[in-house]
Amino acid sequence: MEANNSRRDFLKKLAIGGGGVVILGQYHFLFANEAKNGILKAIIVDFDKCAGCQTCETVCSAFHHPVEIDGEMLKGLGNPKLANIQVYHYNPDMDIPSVCANCPDSPCVENCPSTPDINGNKAIYRDKLTLAIRTNHGICISCGTCADTCKDQRTGVIKMNPLTNHPEHICDHCGGDPQCVKYCPYGALSFQEVDIEKTYFGMSPTQIAEELFKRYYTTQEVIHG
Amino acid sequence: MDKIFGQYGVILDINLSTNKINKTQISKIDLKNYLGGRGLGMKILWDRIKKPGIDPLSPENIIMFMPGPFSGLPIPSSSRTTIVTKSPRTSPINKKYEHSSTISYANMGGFFGPEVKFAGYDGIVVTGKASSPVFILIEDDKVQIKSAESYWGLGTDSLDKKLIEEYGKNYQSCYIGQGGENLIPYASVLNTAARAAGRGGVGAVMGSKNLKAILVKGTQQPNLAKHKMYLDLLEKTRTAFQEDKTGGVISWRTGGTADALERSSDNGTMAVKNYREGTFKEIEKINTKAARTQIWKRDFACFSCQLACKKSGFAKGAYGGVVHDGPEYETGTMLGANLLISDLEGLNKMIYICDDYGIDIISTGGVLGFLMECREKGLIDLDFLDGVDLTWGNVDASIEMIHKIVKRDGVGKWAAMGVKALAKRIGQGSEEFAIHVKGHELAAWNVNTNASSMMITYGTANRGACHLNSSNPVRQNTNALRDSLGACSFAGSWYKGDISYRNFIEAITGAEQSDDEFNLIGERIFNLEKMFNLREGFDDKDDHLPERFFKDAHTYGKGEGKLATHEDFTKWIEAYYAERGWDVKTSKPKTEKLSQLGLDFTLQS
């Protein structure tokens, strides 16, 4: 029954993450070109379209946690809990995908107290090439400030791995071709320039849900035509 | 032991009498022959319940929560959980034992089954009875039986909200409402407060064990036999849905099953006025267009599903204020057309109340329709109904009666027992329009307009009247097989050619088999269910339909004037038995058939 990964293995796997780079190294080029223009992009959710199927979670997880089969690195099975994008279900009915907003002011990075490495990057930093927020667990002091900051001020996607005590669940845009955007059956996700003026920018899933409850379930306004 | 792929070979076994928690091994051969879900549940039921006639609401009964080999993988529309138990709903015409009853299986979508798989189990089996209300909390290997005193008495909606608040996003849960607590024989089990394992009284069995809820969360997935083949199939399947040209995907998303309301009414196949008619004259008040413009707000999908057939309905006004799934075809017909109710907001509220209590809406609609007809015909008076004026189309009276049923208050005690028991009490020929087979109320598809098919569909279903059964043995077998995968019937039509269920099973479990061998699995499951029922004392007489369908032709609509005779029925059912390889008179599977299916063991008991 070696199929059964223990929780410890699971957490370790989560901590390693980023294996998707092995598969999709090819996109690096595409993505580098884009970043040169200095456009800050993120996964943008159209909350009116999301149906809560969690396909985004499964393709994110499958991409970032590949498995080696007969010497070949292949996409994994996609356990949703390993995903960087997370869908929250609410009652009354509402489904809210939550993913790193790639905030231009990156408070997670700003508040990180770690000592920068020789490239000037702290334990959580904005990658110069990809413009995505990345982590360097080697210099991380496991203080949890990034997760707390994100939770207090923004989406709250950053979570500390309970075993390694390093931050995780930060979207890396799959190297420029986000799997969640590609596979969302409902067209609810897009990879767009970050716009802090957008209604739900940087909000936690619960805050967004509260707003949507008001829109959907307390007015006579008919949403569907 | 041979290495098992795609599954764990492990069932979580929880005895609520002794508080013992075990991980029971399931053999590779049973996994291959019965897969999971409905099939594996049936096999375990046969193995564990060794003698016929046990009381389904006693600690002797067992209840199983079964995902399938597709569960926990993001294969489109593989969200289903089947709950399997011995039915508290059914009874034969001639009782061989006091508690003779059939197999029961009820199937729900949502997120529960996949999570059971993530936790590392091919199923959960609950036996015995807790001495006070409990719930089961599962996190991978860690399994706890905890007090549910603070949850007991809650409806499914408030319980769901409470569980989300207390346990957060990552747990999935299923539970009963007051219906299951009060052992209403048609109580349901719900996930996400709306996705119901509605039929066959599975909620009553859960309630009889003092089990309020199961919460599960997990981090695992089993290794697959042919990982690369699986990825290839998955990619192709996703493409098939994304590039769908049948219009099916769009139809499910915009209308869900509710799209069938108008079509069925037009075709004269709808249950209207306690099955007296097949067309609802006010259908435009409750059809998809009405729902979409007046109350539906959003579309919702189950785990990894591209169809999003669930809708959130929200109404204002006297019946407003609740957000709830509905109406869809079954709920809209059984509480709508069948009761001549066309008040869409009232209908939405009734659906909410039934789901909150956790009672099967199909059976509830059948019971209310039957009482309305008895009242109209003067077989019962207002006194019998405790003053609840159950007239056709009356929303308030229907709601009042639903409350009485769940509280078993006055006439509610009898109404809670279903139409078969009610007819026995009321008498005066009411049996003729007590719409059930084997004690299980019929669903929202009427019979007369398409009698040759619908009579066999309802008559031969192993859990008692069931609209999902089909009339054709091959399709019945396919349905049993699909219910054993964790796959959803609504998406069945996309799984053909390259991306067949068989190919997925080969990739997942490694089983290389021909279509014929694979289809034998469904036939095996169906026949094992049949053998269980025979052992309980059911025979061919129990496959008959109510007299209404031989006497009362629809007076208008597409089916107007159509009526089958008893001779017709005998001809159809005998042809069906023959096609099945069963004795055409007694309906018993022949020994050769059982041998062919590897079911010889059923003959030894």
Question: How confident is the model at residue B170, as a pLDDT?
Answer: 86
Supply the range of the domain harboring residue B374: 234-441
Is B74 within the bounds of a domain? yes
Q: Which residues contact A72 (CB under 8 A, 6 or more apart)?
A: B228
Q: How many domains does chain B have?
A: 2
Is pLDDT above 80 for A58? yes
Question: How confident is the model at residue A27, as a pLDDT?
Answer: 42
Q: Which residues contact B590 (CB under 8 A, 6 or more apart)?
A: B581, B582, B583
Domain boundary among B412, B441, B470: B441
Is B604 within the bounds of a domain? no
Q: Which of residues 81-120 of A touch B (CB under 8 A)?
A: 81, 86, 88-95
pLDDT (average), residues A170-199: 97
Q: Cβ(B335)–Cβ(B364) under 8 Å?
A: yes
Is B539 within the bounds of a domain? no
Is the Cβ of B10 closer than 8 Å to some Cβ of chain A?
Answer: yes
ipTM of the complex: 0.96
Is the Cβ of B75 closer than 8 Å to some Cβ of chain A?
Answer: no
- What pairs with residue B143 in β-bridges? B138
Cα separation, A138 vs A135, in Å, equals 9
Q: What is the CATH number of the domain that holds B365?
A: 1.10.569.10
The closest alpha carbon to B298, from A59, A209, A85, belongs to A209
Q: Do B231 and A88 touch (CB under 8 A)?
A: no
DSSP output for B292-328: HHHTEEEEE--TT-S---EEEEE--STT-S-EEE---
Residue A83 CA, distance from chain mean position: 7
Q: What is the pLDDT of residues A159-184, one digit of tens each?
A: 999 999 999 999 999 989 999 999 99
The closest alpha carbon to B87, from B136, B65, B54, belongs to B54
Cα separation, B39 vs B26, in Å, equals 13
Is pLDDT above 50 for A32? no
The tokens 């369908």 sit on which residue? B549
**Low-confidence stretches of chain B (pLDDT beneath 50):** none
Q: Cβ(B517)–Cβ(B504) under 8 Å?
A: no
Is pLDDT above 60 for A18? no
Question: How confident is the model at residue A1, as a pLDDT?
Answer: 36
Same domain, B165 and B298: no
Same domain, B205 and B332: no
Distance from the Cα of A113 to chain B's closest Cα (Å) equals 30
Same domain, B55 and B161: yes
Question: How confident is the model at residue A12, as a pLDDT?
Answer: 54
When the pLDDT of each residue in chain A is averaged and rounded to a whole number, the result is 87
Same domain, B247 and B284: yes
Is A225 within the bounds of a domain? no
Instruction: Kindly tell me the burial class for residue B118, based on how many C-beta atoms sit within 10 Å of its own C-beta (0-12, 13-18, 19 or more).
Output: buried
Q: What is the CATH number of the domain that holds B84?
A: 3.60.9.10
Q: Which of residues 97-126 of B touch A (CB under 8 A)?
A: 111, 118, 120
Cα-Cα-Cα-Cα dihedral sign, residues B592, B594, B598, B599: negative
Is A115 within the bounds of a domain? yes
Cα separation, B344 vs A10, in Å, equals 48
Same domain, B304 and B343: yes
Same domain, B209 and B264: no
Domain boundary among B162, B187, B217: B217
Is pLDDT above 60 for A15? no
Question: How confident is the model at residue A22, as a pLDDT?
Answer: 46
SS (H, E, C) B121-137: CCEEEEECCCCCCEEEE
Distance from the Cα of A55 to chain B's closest Cα (Å) equals 5
- CA within 13 Å, CB half, B440: 34
Q: How many domains does chain A have?
A: 1
Same domain, B192 and B329: no
Question: How confident is the model at residue B169, as a pLDDT?
Answer: 79
Angle among Cα B63, B528, B420 to the nearest 5 degrees reads 65
Report the relative pairing of strands A94-98 and A124-126 from DSSP bridges.
unpaired
Same domain, B210 and B243: no
Contacts of A78 in chain B (CB under 8 A): 73-74
Cα separation, A45 vs B383, in Å, equals 58
Q: Output phi, psi for B306, to 5 deg.
A: -100, 0
Is the Cβ of B304 closer than 8 Å to some Cβ of chain A?
Answer: yes
Is the Cβ of A179 closer than 8 Å to some Cβ of chain B?
Answer: no
Q: What is the CATH number of the domain that holds A191?
A: 3.30.70.20
Q: Which of A23-37, A151-165, B246-260 has the lowest mean pLDDT?
A: A23-37
Question: How confident is the model at residue B415, as a pLDDT?
Answer: 98
Same domain, B189 and B111: yes
Same domain, B334 and B423: yes
Cα separation, B564 vs B537, in Å, equals 27
Supply the range of the domain harboring residue A115: 17-217
Is pLDDT above 60 for A212? yes
Cα-Cα-Cα-Cα dihedral sign, residues B91, B96, B97, B102: negative
Is A7 within the bounds of a domain? no
Is B33 within the bounds of a domain? yes
Is B111 within the bounds of a domain? yes
- What pairs with residue B13 in β-bridges? B22, B125
Model confidence band, residue A225 (pLDDT cutoffs 50, 70, 90): very low
Cα separation, B244 vs B495, in Å, equals 12
Structure tokens at A143: 């203080």
Distance from the Cα of B188 to chain A's closest Cα (Å) equals 19
The tokens 């006497």 sit on which residue? B551
Is the Cβ of A73 closer than 8 Å to some Cβ of chain B?
Answer: no
